[in-house]
Amino acid sequence: MTPDVEELLADAHVVRLPLVTRFRGVIEREALLLRGPSGWGEFSPFLEYDDAEASAWLAAAIDAAWGAPTPVLRDAVPVNATLPTVPVDRIREVLERFGEVRTVKVKVADAREGLADDVARVREVRRILGAEGRIRVDANAAWSVDQAERAAHALAPFDLEYLEQPCTTVAELAELRERLRDWQLPIAADESVRKASDPLAVARAGAADLLVVKVQPLGGVARALRIVAEAGLPAVVSSAIDTSVGLAMGARLAAALPELAYDCGLGTAALLAADVTAEPLRPRGGVIAVRAVEPDATLLRQHAAPPERVAWWHERVRRCAALLAASTLTAG
């Protein structure tokens, strides 16, 4: 049964963790952790997300902490390194935090930079990885179709694995995919899945070659698995700079997929300067383990958010829980 909001908050902890470098314009990551009979769950939608979008993240946290664990098919998940828009001279330093990985996702299309900066960053990653390494780039829907096509041309010498969410709309992705058809450069859909009212629209439109799925914004492991199955496309499981609790939720999703052809974006604990557990889910030998994470009480206290932020997150949980309850009643 779904717990009521007082039960949700009875053993909730709001933490604020420093990052090793700026990511999505922030240098700290806030998250609310919930403990239930099945373990721990994480609720960490970005601060700018409205309650309707954030409520799916709460559903995922409840599923992790109160739901039945989904059976898994593997005990470890291969992961990529994630490279924020850092200067070229910091690239090796950031990548070394991930250890030995064969794949790097490079963030591109930063509003403060230009295409030349993206090319320079990808060129340096290729130099570090060598010819056998895999490079994917993520534009977070920041390009127009023309800009994305120009970027694809400029980045072609570096043998990209795929181009992630280059444009905003499904129609734009479909047009770009048609323009790049002879290039054999796959298009991955992220925001068109996790931020869409219909996460299957991109698959029906033939606008992507693979899906990027994240357990929190999709409402939990079971719903994410259904979306992947109905889409009929390969999937990459990713994260949103979660604590190790959230990464464990993503790892369970990746471990439950029937096929896992791509390295997953679940190594991002390497971008945290601190975590909530003494044994964080950081990459080791290019993989993370599929296991439960138990937060450390000392670390929860050490990284506790200020009281006003705790109150803010508690109110957010209350509002999102009310939306979930209303949607359940409507569905019933």
pLDDT tens per residue, range 20-49 = 988 877 899 999 999 999 999 999 999 999
Decide if pLDDT at 88 tops 90: yes
3-state secondary structure the chain: CCCCHHHHHHCCEEEEEEEEEEECCEEEEEEEEEEECCEEEEECCCCCCCHHHHHHHHHHHHHHHHCCCCCCCCCEEEECEEECCCCHHHHHHHHHCCCCCCEEEEECCCCCCCHHHHHHHHHHHHHHHCCCCEEEEECCCCCCHHHHHHHHHHHHHHCEEEEECCCCCHHHHHHHHHHCHHHCCCEEECHHHHCCCCCCHHHHCCCCCEEEECCCCCCCHHHHHHHHHHHCCCEEEECCCCCHHHHHHHHHHHHHCCCCCCCEECCHHHHECCCCCCCCCCCECCEEECCCCCCCHHHHHHCECCHHHHHHHHHHHHHHHHHHHHHHHHHC
Which pLDDT does position 90 carry in this prediction? 96
- The 10s digit of each residue's pLDDT in 175-216 is 999 999 888 899 999 999 999 889 999 999 999 999 999 999
For residue 164, say whether it is annotated as part of any ligand binding site: yes
The model's pTM is 0.94
- The dihedral over CA atoms of 189, 194, 198, 199, expressed in degrees to the nearest 10, equals 50
Given the residues 35, 107, 136, 223, the one annotated as active site: 107
pLDDT score of 22: 83
Percentage, residues of the chain above pLDDT 90 = 94
Q: Which of 105, 194, 214, 252 is catalytic?
A: 214
Query: Any known ligand binding at 132?
Result: no
Q: Is 195 a catalytic residue?
A: no
The pLDDT of residue 330 is above 50: no
Identify the structural domains of the chain with CATH numbers, from first to last. Answer: 5-68+297-331 (3.30.390.10), 76-289 (3.20.20.120)
**Confidence band (pLDDT; 50, 70, 90) for 1?**
low
pLDDT at 329 over 60: no
pLDDT-derived band of residue 328, with 50, 70 and 90 as boundaries?
A: low
Structure tokens at 52: 């309707």
What pLDDT is attached to residue 331? 46
Is the pLDDT reported for residue 294 higher than 60?
yes
Please compute the mean of the pLDDT values over residues 93-120 and round it to a whole number. Answer: 96
Confirm or deny that 275 is annotated as ligand binding.
Answer: no
Q: Is 105 annotated as catalytic?
A: no
The model's confidence at residue 226, banded by pLDDT at 50, 70 and 90, is: very high
Taking only the tens place, the pLDDT of each residue in 113-136 is 999 999 999 999 999 999 999 999
